[in-house]
Amino acid sequence: MKPSNPKNDDLENRLRFDAARIQPLPPEGMNERIVRATRHAETPAPQFRRLSGGFLAALGAIGAAAALAVVFSARHAGGPPSEPAPDADAQLVSVLQSVPALVWTSVQPKATALLEQDPLRADATALYSDARSAASFLAINFLPSSPPPSHSAPPGQG
Partner 1 sequence: MLAVQTPSEPLLLDASATSSEEAGLVRETLAGDGQAFERLVRMHSPRLFRFLYQLTRSREDAEDVAQQTFVKAYRHLHRFDPERPFIHWLLTIGRRTALNHFRAAKKSEPFTEEAPSSDPTPAENAEFRDQSENLWRRAQSILPRRDFEIMWLRFGEDLSIEDTARVAGLTRTYVKVIVFRARRALLKAIATP
* Angle in degrees, CA 101, 104, 107, rounded to 5: 150
Sort 132 into a burial class: Cβ within 10 Å, 0-12 / 13-18 / 19+: middle
Sole window of 25-33, 61-69, 75-83, 105-113 interacting with partner 1 (rule: CB under 8 A): 25-33
CA gap 157, 151 in Å, rounded: 12
**Please, are residues 130 and 57 in contact by the beta-carbon 8 Å criterion?**
no
Sole window of 23-31, 78-86, 106-114, 147-155 interacting with partner 1 (rule: CB under 8 A): 23-31
**Please, are residues 92 and 68 in contact by the beta-carbon 8 Å criterion?**
yes
19 binds partner 1 (CB under 8 A): yes
67 binds partner 1 (CB under 8 A): no
**Please, are residues 54 and 126 in contact by the beta-carbon 8 Å criterion?**
no
To the nearest whole angstrom, how small is the minimum distance from the Cβ of residue 18 to partner 1? Answer: 5
| Alpha-helix runs per DSSP H in 6-144 | 6-21, 30-40, 45-78, 86-97, 99-115, 118-142
25 binds partner 1 (CB under 8 A): yes
Q: Which of 3, 4, 21, 116 binds partner 1 (CB under 8 A)?
A: 21
Q: Mask: binding to partner 1, 27-46, rule CB under 8 A, as x and -?
A: x--xx-xxx-xxx-xxxxx-
The CA R_g of the chain, rounded to the nearest whole Å, is 31
48 binds partner 1 (CB under 8 A): yes
To the nearest whole angstrom, how small is the minimum distance from the Cβ of residue 51 to partner 1? Answer: 13
What SS3 state is found at 91? helix
Q: Which of 17, 116, 146, 150 binds partner 1 (CB under 8 A)?
A: 17
| 9 vs 87 by CB, closer to partner 1 | 9
- List residues binding partner 1 (CB under 8 A): 7-8, 10-27, 30-31, 33-35, 37-39, 41-45, 48
